[in-house]
Amino acid sequence: MSVKKLWEGSAQFQENSHLFKYKTWLAHEYQIDLNSYDDIWQWSVDHIEDFWRSIWDYFDIISHQPYQSVLKLRTMPDFEWFSGAQLNYAEHIFRHHHLDEETAILFSNERGVSETLSWKGLKTKVASMATYLKSIGVSKGDCVAAFLPNVPEATISFLAVNSLGAIWSSTSPDFGSESVIDRFIQIKPKVFITVDGYYYNGKPYDKIDIAKTIANALPTLQQVIVLPYLNQEAITSFPREAKNIKDIFKNKGDELSFEPVNFNHPIWVLYSSGTTGLPKAIVHSHGGILLEHLKYMAFHNDVHEGERYFWFTTTGWMMWNFLQSPLLMGATIVLYDGSPTYPDFNRLWKFSESVKINHFGTSAPFLVASMKQHIKPKEHYDQAALRSISSTGAPLPFEAFEYVYRNIKSDVWLCSMAGGTDVCTAFVGGSPFYAVHAGEIQCRALGVSLHAYNDKGESVEDELGEMVIDKPMPSMPIYFWNDPDNKRYQASYFDHFPGKWRHGDFIKINSKTKGIVIYGRSDATLNRHGIRIGTSEIYRSINKINSIEDSLIVNLELEGGRHYMPLFVKMKTGIELSENIKTQINNQLKKEYSPRHVPDTIIEVPDIPYTISGKKMEAPVKKILMKMAIEKSINRDSMKNPESVDFFIAYAKTI
C-alpha cells in the first residue's frame, strides 16, 4: 500500500511529548525498554494488565481505597477493572491547585458573547451547584439530565453532579422532544437542567414549550433548573417551582468535596442512535473514563498544562463528554456555541486565531465542506499557536488530508481519530512518533487490541475487514441501563465474534505504516455528516404518514468525503409517491428531529427486503448500493421476500 507522507514530528516534537516521557518512565520504573510506538503498542496489548497498572501509577491516581486486582476477566463482556478502588473523576480535575488564577474555560458563541472562567472561578461555581443539588436531595447514584447547549453552565453542572457521585446525562437543544424523552425516560432523572432556547445560523430557536413537554414526560423529576439563554426573563414561562441557574451561582456554596465511588460506579449515560428501537442507554464508569481520557489526552493528543483545547461539538455528541478531559491535564477547554459556518465558513478559523487555540477538534464533514468551499485559513488567519488538528465523526478522505496541509497549516499534526459513543474515546488516533499519511489514521491506540477481521474471523492486514477488539478496555460500558441480563449489551458487540467486540466499522490496516483507513459503518447506523442517526427515528416519523406502507433508509459514504442518504418507500395500494408526499416526509423529519434526518432523495420501491425473522435488511442493501459483490452482500435464502432485492440491484447500477 503506497501512501503519501504529509507530516512527521521533529526530534524535538517527539522528545517533548508525553509519550516520550512515558517511554522513559517505563524503562526506569518497570525496566521495560521499548523503542518505537509499535513496540509500546504491542506491549500494551500483550500485557494489558501491566499496561493499565502503569497508567494508574504514571498518572498518580487518587484512590480512597486500594484496588485488589487490575482485571478480573472471564469472557468479554464479563470483566471488572480495578476492583476495590474508590475514586472520583472530578477530584482529578480539581487537583491542579497551582492553576487557580489561570484560565480553565474560554467560551464564545455566534452572537459574539464571550466568557472567561478561571480555575478558581470554575471551582466556586461547581461548589455552588453541588451545594444546591445536595440541598434538594441529589446524592450518589441519582441521575441528573440536561438539555443544554455547549456553554460553561453545562460543564459546571456536570462537574457538580460528578462530585456528588451522581450520574450525568445530556442532550443538545436541537433534539426534538420525542428524541429527548426516549433517552431520559429510561434513566428516571431526579433533576432536569434545561435551556430556554439557542441561536443557530443567526436565528433564535425558542425551546420553552419543548422543555416543558420533556419535563412533564419525566415523572421522577423533583426539580427543574433553567438557564435563561435567549431571554433573561425566560424563567417566568416555567412553573413557579423552576429554579434559575443564575440564582444558584449567586449563593456561595460549601467547600467543594468529592464523594469517593467504586471504580465501576456510573459516571454518565450516553445513548446510541436508536437503530432498532429505543436508543441504548450506555453506562460508563468513573474509573474507566478517567484512565482512558488521561491516556488519550497525554499520549495521543499530547495535551499539556495551560494549552487551549477546542472541539466543535454539542452536548448530544460523545465528543462533548470527551471535551471535558483536557481539564484533567490542566489545560483550558475552549467552548463554542452556534453554527460553525455563520456568518461564513471562516468563522471557526477566525475564532482559533483570536483565542490562540493549540488543539483544534472538528468533524471530518466540516473539513470536507471547508475544502469544497475553497476556504484557505492560512492566507487570512494567524495559526502560529495551532499544534494539532483532530478530526472524527466520519472517515476523513485522502483529499481532505492534503487540504489541511495545503490550506490550513503546513506543519500541523493532523491526528485524525475514530471511536464511538460506546467507549467515549477513540480506538485509533494520533501518535507523535508516527508520520501522517494521506487518508490514514496514524495508529491503534495504546491498550486497544484492535484488528481487521475477514469473513472467516481471521486478523488481516492490507485488506478490508471488520473492526474487532479482542481484549477489554476500561472505558467499555459497564452495562446498558435497564438491561439486567446484559442481553442488549451482548447482542450489540459480542454476538458476531463471541468474546470479542465487533464495532461495526469496515477498516483496513496498512502493514507498512501501521495506519488505519475507516471505510464507514458495516451496520445499519446512519452516519450523517458526522452525526450518528438511528434508522428507527426515521421510521418512527414516517410511520405517521398514512399513505406510506413501509420504508428503508441507508447512508452511503462515497469518495471525496461525500455522503448519499436515499430513503426508499413502499406506498399503500393505489397511492403513488407525489411531490407533496415527499415534502410532507421532509418537513416532518425536520420538525420532529433535525435537518440531518432529511434524506437526499426519496424513491418509491415495490417492496422492502426482510429477513425470515422479520428484520429490515438495511446493511445488505447498503452493501448492494456500495457495489459490493452480490454474493457477499446478501443471502437470499435468509429472506422472507427475496425478489424485493432485485430493485436495489438494478438501482445500484444507476448511482
User: Across residues 308-332, what is the average pLDDT?
Assistant: 96
Gap between the Cα atoms of 241 and 380, Å rounded = 50
What does the pLDDT read at residue 275? 40
pLDDT band at 525 (very low <50, low <70, confident <90, very high): low
What does the pLDDT read at residue 464? 80
Gap between the Cα atoms of 643 and 62, Å rounded = 61
pLDDT above 90: percentage of residues in the chain: 75
Would the pLDDT of 57 be above 50?
yes
pLDDT digits (tens, 9 = 90+) for 346-361: 999 999 999 999 999 9
pLDDT digits (tens, 9 = 90+) for 186-212: 999 999 999 999 999 999 999 999 999
CATH architecture, domain 527-652: 2-Layer Sandwich (3.30)
User: Across residues 595-606, what is the average pLDDT?
Assistant: 93
User: Across residues 436-456, what is the average pLDDT?
Assistant: 94
Higher pLDDT, 53 or 178: 53
Every domain of the chain and the residues it spans: 5-93+265-521, 97-103+113-259, 527-652
Backbone angles phi, psi at 427, to 5 degrees: -75, -35
Gap between the Cα atoms of 473 and 477, Å rounded = 9
User: Across residues 65-83, what is the average pLDDT?
Assistant: 94
What is the residue whose three cell numbers read 453554527? 339
What does the pLDDT read at residue 274? 54
Cα distances from 334 to residues 155, 203, 347, in angstroms, run 11, 23, 15
What is the residue whose three cell numbers read 505504516? 513
What does the pLDDT read at residue 134? 97
Cis bond upstream, residue 340 (ω within 30): no
**Which CATH number describes the domain made up of 5-93+265-521?**
3.40.50.12780
3-state secondary structure of 321: helix
Contact 220, 87 (CB under 8 A): no
pLDDT band at 276 (very low <50, low <70, confident <90, very high): very low
Backbone angles phi, psi at 327, to 5 degrees: -60, -30
Report the range of poorest mean pLDDT among 45-59, 127-141, 568-582, 612-626: 612-626
5-93+265-521 and 527-652 in the same fold:
no
Contacts of 73 (CB under 8 A, 6+ apart): 79, 472
User: Across residues 262-279, what is the average pLDDT?
Assistant: 81
Taking alpha carbons only, the member of 559, 526, 627 closest to residue 397 is: 559
Cα distances from 185 to residues 52, 164, 219, 251, 300, in angstroms, run 35, 22, 8, 31, 36
pLDDT digits (tens, 9 = 90+) for 240-257: 899 999 999 999 889 999
pLDDT digits (tens, 9 = 90+) for 607-636: 999 875 567 888 889 889 988 888 778 877
Contact 589, 538 (CB under 8 A): yes
**DSSP assignment letter at 69:** E
**Cα-atom radius of gyration of the chain, to the nearest Å?**
24
Gap between the Cα atoms of 65 and 263, Å rounded = 10
SS (H, E, C) 378-396: HHCCCCCCCCEEEEECCCC
What does the pLDDT read at residue 250? 94
What does the pLDDT read at residue 389? 97
Contact 603, 566 (CB under 8 A): yes
Cell of 235: 424563567
Cell of 201: 445560523
Contacts of 285 (CB under 8 A, 6+ apart): 81, 263, 264, 265, 266, 267, 474, 475, 478
Highest CATH level, class, for 97-103+113-259? alpha beta
pLDDT band at 602 (very low <50, low <70, confident <90, very high): very high
pLDDT band at 530 (very low <50, low <70, confident <90, very high): low
Contacts of 578 (CB under 8 A, 6+ apart): none
Would the pLDDT of 33 be above 70?
yes
pLDDT band at 546 (very low <50, low <70, confident <90, very high): confident
